[in-house]
Amino acid sequence: MAADLPARASGSAEPARSGLDADALQRDVIDNLICQQARYPAIATPHDWYRALACSVRDRMLARWVATVQTYAARDVRVACYLSAEFLIGPQLGNNIVNLGIEANTRTAMLALGQDLDMLLALEEEPGLGNGGLGRLAACYLDSLATLETPAIGYGIRYEFGIFDQQIRDGWQEEVTDKWLQKGNPWEIVHPDVTCYVSFGGRTENDTDAQGRLRVRWIPANQVKGVACDIPILGFHVNTCNTLRLWKSEAVESFDLQDFNAGDYYQAVQEKVISETLSKVLYPNDEPEAGKRLRLAQQYFFVSCSLQDMFRLLDLKGEPASSFADRFAVQLNDTHPAIAVAELMRLLVDERQLGWDEAWDITRRSLAYTNHTLLPEALETWGLPLFRSLLPRPLEIIYEINRRFLDELRQRYAGDEARVARMSLIDERGKKLLRMAHLATVGSHAVNGVAALHSTLLKQTVLRDFAELWPERFHNVTNGVTPRRFMLLCNPGLARLLDETVGEGWITDLTRLRELAAHADDAAFRERWCRVKLSNKEALAARIRSATGIVVDPGTLFDIQVKRIHEYKRQHLNALFIISLYQRLRRNPQLACAPRCFVFGGKAAPGYAMAKLIIRLINGVAEVVNNDPAVNDRLKVVFFPDFNVKNAHFIYPAADLSEQISTAGKEASGTGNMKFMMNGALTIGTLDGANVEIREEVGDENFFLFGLTAEQVERVRRGGYRPEDYANGNPELREALALIAEGHFSRGDRNMFRALVENLLRVDPFLVLADYADYMACQERVSAAWQDPQRWARMSILNTAYAGKFSSDRAIGEYCEQIWKIRPVKIDLDRL
């Protein structure tokens, strides 16, 4: 990008829109303030400055973006298309500055304009286009794909309202509409010319084409227009700038309602309402029934738009439909996009006139499926009447896929009708249900779980029959998270120390952190390590104070559990421990135990009553504990409201202890566990998800393990689990439950927590009571370890040192090699 503009007297010769030095940045910020926002410095609000800076950073990404798109168009590349209903990308400004490598220059430029960079960064709205781990994983993968210079496009939905904002009132969660787009989104580039049309409802007709072949025509009741809204995704210190393409729905005005008779007319008008609300709102997960129809419509909408877009790209290259699989590797992030199996077949057979067998071969070679859950209630199914009324043609295709698949099974397993019924795409045991995980598996060449344990259990449980039929299709790719956002951006103090200790290369080769182990016994290094942690804890303490009014001591053990609130994640097990610890301290104020600050954060699905009650319980416990002078300097409990990526930035780096206490076998992987580990927290956890691998990497002696194993959990269940026996056999547990039941944490209200206590005593589906005693004992080991600060510092250092495996760069490398067969492509800026 040679600068042939005349040099300005006052500064550098760098062009304003692309120059990376402070002077060019400063000039571009002023340009954008005036030319984009029609404002000038004297009257600019902080948000004006934020926006002018964001546009200036975006300017620096666009040349790279164009070069990237051009290169992919010109070369014979295979592109990874990551289909996900959620992308929880978090604030973009800070990350883009880091990836461009212009942090110091930006700070200088803004200071010259009288603006503090950190203040401006804090003004960015969270793009909450996801519920939690699954959406955040998709975002981490986009970062690694770009950083590894891998051709990729993320495809999803541009929700107008993302995940709700959480407020806490009287200890209860309240949901507030997320209006993230209210002030506009500087990262979004809308392409009104890149549109797709998606059909819904209506009926199908058989037709013969000019060659006399039977063709099916779908006569929809309604069509929706999808408009591409792109967000550039820049890699770290590379020119690769990939695209996250999110689809916004619009009504198709020209759609001719007169084609319908009166009966269809009302139906058509109703369907039109759908088109206008399709991409309005993200559905919180863990929600029962409500909003099902719209959700299915959302899934089909974004999948159809995305696949049509791939064909558009193929057409631009002048390549035939038959080369689809050579050009695209389509990854299905859970079953939300599983309808892609039927839609790709429809596009190939109905729209591109390919024969069934060829189309099926292309479909299978293109698609791969990632499973994210073994929880039976979370496995996606759709009732056939609903599915048929919304997607009549895709359903016919699914019937045909199933007919052929079941024929194959009957040949292979003659007489084993039970197996055939188990594997069918349609569950016919009760009201007929379409099984999306089966559809995704049958239509893919690769299926993977997201941690070693999860992939093993997947093959033994929900997809067992499929793993027996096609063992070679099953893989494991343990999740990872991006160290750019979750170390460099959110923990700059640690990053500096790591740069000085192991050299700068660690950020793109996280296994280099192993070199830290050699410093774990160096007293001076430990001292610096602890200073970084302390300063992160001070920053979190300040945030806690401003968000909740609670004053916490940064010198105490920060014991943190942040993640969605769910019974299987067992925040209530943690609460029971706090209650018991509180009772111990009240009985014996001299008790030798680590002074702790417990921090919780996470949203509950609005319709998940038990999860909301757990939030209320935590706040009830906090109220009692925090106001009891008898324990005051030893125990604090905080529920940090509105846990999201933005807040996560200062929570993970401040943790001493990471709570990963799900019932073994229930958490597919977890990624929060990895973010904590990278930032030097020790884990207390069960043998679940990626905890197993975390413990393997860091060593048993640097991990606090407790609880039943997945196998033991199953055995206890099969043996007729009686939770009340555990309560009766353990006086402290009985006491904690009694205090809750008696209204001790609900200002005397004995009703409030009745459902929770009774559920624990009578059913306890996630074995909270069975694991309580071992958890208590393990927490005592934590306390003892904390009393020896040198030992704790050493373990903390080793956790970061052995976190290398959990970089999303490693995970994306495995997807590229094992599943997608995609290699990096260097982007040359000079080709512009």
Ligand X SMILES: *Cc1c(COP(=O)(O)O)cnc(C)c1O
The CA distance from 307 to 319, in Å, is 15
Q: Which is nearer to ligand X, 271 or 656 (CB)?
A: 656
671 binds ligand X (CB under 6 A): yes
The CA distance from 446 to 245, in Å, is 24
The catalytic position among 671, 683, 686, 800 is 671
- In whole angstroms, how far apart are CA 103 and each of 98, 142, 535? 6, 21, 20
658 binds ligand X (CB under 6 A): no
132 binds ligand X (CB under 6 A): yes
Q: Which is nearer to ligand X, 486 or 815 (CB)?
A: 486
Q: Which of 639, 605, 603 is nearest to 621 (CA)?
A: 639
Q: Locate tokens 């056999």: which residue? A: 729
The CA distance from 700 to 723, in Å, is 29
The CA distance from 754 to 760, in Å, is 10
Convert 762-789 into a string of H (helix), E (strand) and C (coil): HCCCCCHHHHHHHHHHHHHHHHHHHCCH
Specify whether the CB–CB gap between 138 and 130 falls below 8 A.
yes
Cα torsion 600, 602, 605, 607: sign: positive
Q: Which stretch binds ligand X (CB under 6 A): 510-518, 665-673, 692-700, 712-720?
A: 665-673
3-state secondary structure of 659: strand
Q: Which of 409, 402, 393 is nearest to 425 (CA)?
A: 402
The CA distance from 75 to 339, in Å, is 30
Question: Is 475 one of the annotated active-site residues of the chain?
Answer: no
596 binds ligand X (CB under 6 A): no
Specify whether the CB–CB gap between 789 and 646 falls below 8 A.
no
Specify whether the CB–CB gap between 482 and 146 falls below 8 A.
no
Q: Which stretch binds ligand X (CB under 6 A): 48-56, 201-209, 669-677, 767-775?
A: 669-677
Question: Is 695 one of the annotated active-site residues of the chain?
Answer: no
The CA distance from 206 to 214, in Å, is 7
The catalytic position among 372, 566, 612, 616 is 372
Q: Locate tokens 């009703």: which residue? A: 751
In the complex, minimum distance from the CB of residue 68 to ligand X, in angstroms, rounded to a whole number: 27
645 binds ligand X (CB under 6 A): yes
Binding test (CB under 6 A) with ligand X, winner from 672, 680, 723, 804: 672
Q: Which of 382, 721, 780 is nearest to 596 (CA)?
A: 780
Number of residues interacting with ligand X: please give it, by CB under 6 A: 13
Binding test (CB under 6 A) with ligand X, winner from 17, 272, 519, 563: 563
In the complex, minimum distance from the CB of residue 560 to ligand X, in angstroms, rounded to a whole number: 10
Q: Which is nearer to ligand X, 485 or 519 (CB)?
A: 485
Q: Which is nearer to ligand X, 585 or 648 (CB)?
A: 648
Specify whether the CB–CB gap between 157 and 85 falls below 8 A.
yes
670 binds ligand X (CB under 6 A): yes
Q: Which is nearer to ligand X, 133 or 171 (CB)?
A: 133
3-state secondary structure of 269: helix
In the complex, minimum distance from the CB of residue 135 to ligand X, in angstroms, rounded to a whole number: 8
In the complex, minimum distance from the CB of residue 87 to ligand X, in angstroms, rounded to a whole number: 12
**For the chain, what is the radius of gyration of the CA atoms?**
28
644 binds ligand X (CB under 6 A): yes
Question: Which residue's Cβ lies closest to ligand X?
Answer: 672
Question: Is 432 one of the annotated active-site residues of the chain?
Answer: no
Binding test (CB under 6 A) with ligand X, winner from 51, 136, 245, 805: 136
Question: Is 473 one of the annotated active-site residues of the chain?
Answer: no
3-state secondary structure of 282: coil
Interface of this chain with ligand X, residues 66 to 125, rule: CB under 6 A: none
The catalytic position among 248, 364, 438, 569 is 569
Question: Is 569 one of the annotated active-site residues of the chain?
Answer: yes
Q: Which is nearer to ligand X, 435 or 675 (CB)?
A: 675
Q: Convert residues 675-714 into a mask of x (bound to ligand X by CB under 6 A) and - (unbound).
A: x---------------------------------------
Question: Is 750 one of the annotated active-site residues of the chain?
Answer: no
Q: Which stretch binds ligand X (CB under 6 A): 257-265, 335-343, 639-647, 805-813?
A: 639-647
Specify whether the CB–CB gap between 91 and 187 falls below 8 A.
no
Q: Which residues bind ligand X (CB under 6 A)?
A: 132-133, 136, 563-564, 643-645, 648, 670-672, 675
Catalytic residues, by residue number, are 372, 563-564, 569, 671, 675
